[in-house]
Copies of this chain bind each other. A is one copy, B any other.
Amino acid sequence: MHTHAQTGPAGRRAGGLPGDLAGDLAGDLAAIVGRDHVRTDDGALAAYARDATPLFHARPQAVVLPGSTDEVAAVLRYATERGVPVVPRGAGSNLCAATVPLRGGIVMVLTRLDRILEVSPAELLARVQPGVTTAALADAAAREGLLYAPDPGSRTVSTVGGNVATCAGGLRGLKYGVTRNHVLGLEAVLPTGEVIRTGGRLWKDVAGYDLTRLLTGSEGTLAVITEATVALLPAPEETGTGVAYFDSLADASRAVAAVIADGIVPATLEFLDRKCVSAVEEFAGLGLRRDAGALLLFGDDGSRRTVAGTLARIGEVCGASGALEVTLAEDVARSDALLAARRCSLPALSRLGSLTILEDATVPRHRLAEMVDRIDEIADRHGLRIATFGHAGDGNLHPTCVLDPDDGEGADRAHRAFAEIFAAAIALDGTITGEHGVGAAKLPYLADRIGDDQVALLRRVKQAFDPAGILNPGKLGS
Contacts and interface: CB of A to CB of B under 8 A. Distances in A.
Nearest to A363: B202
Contacts of A122: 257, 260-261, 366
A365 interface: yes
- Of listed A195, A197, A201, A458, residue having the most chain B CB within 10 A: A201
A451 B305 CA distance: 48
A331 interface: no
Interface string A352-381: 000000000011111000000000000000
A61 interface: no
A457 B464 contact: yes
A205 B366 contact: no
A216 B234 CA distance: 28
B431 A207 contact: yes
A166 B207 CA distance: 10
Nearest to A146: B263
Interface stretch (A1-9, A24-32, A175-183): A175-183
Contact of A206 (B177, B196, B217, B366): B217
A250 to B, nearest CB: 15
Nearest to A449: B207
A213 B464 contact: no
A202 B260 contact: no
Contacts of A261: 121-122
A391 B205 CA distance: 13
B204 A461 contact: no
Interface residues of A, number: 88
Nearest to A393: B203
A260 B174 CA distance: 23
A303 interface: yes
A265 B123 CA distance: 12
Interface string A443-478: 000100111011101101101110000000000110
A203 B173 CA distance: 8
A204 B361 CA distance: 10
A51 interface: no
A167 interface: yes
Interface of A: 121-124, 145, 166-167, 169, 173-174, 177-178, 180-181, 190, 194-198, 200-211, 213-214, 216-218, 222, 233-235, 237, 257, 260-261, 263-265, 303, 305-306, 309, 362-366, 391, 394-396, 429-438, 442, 446, 449-451, 453-455, 457-458, 460-461, 463-465, 476-477
14 contacts: A123-B366, A166-B206, A169-B204, A173-B203, A181-B181, A202-B394, A202-B430, A206-B433, A207-B433, A207-B442, A208-B476, A210-B213, A211-B458, A234-B264
Which 6 residue pairs spanning A and B have beta carbons closest together?
A213-B213, A234-B263, A460-B464, A204-B434, A194-B453, A203-B394
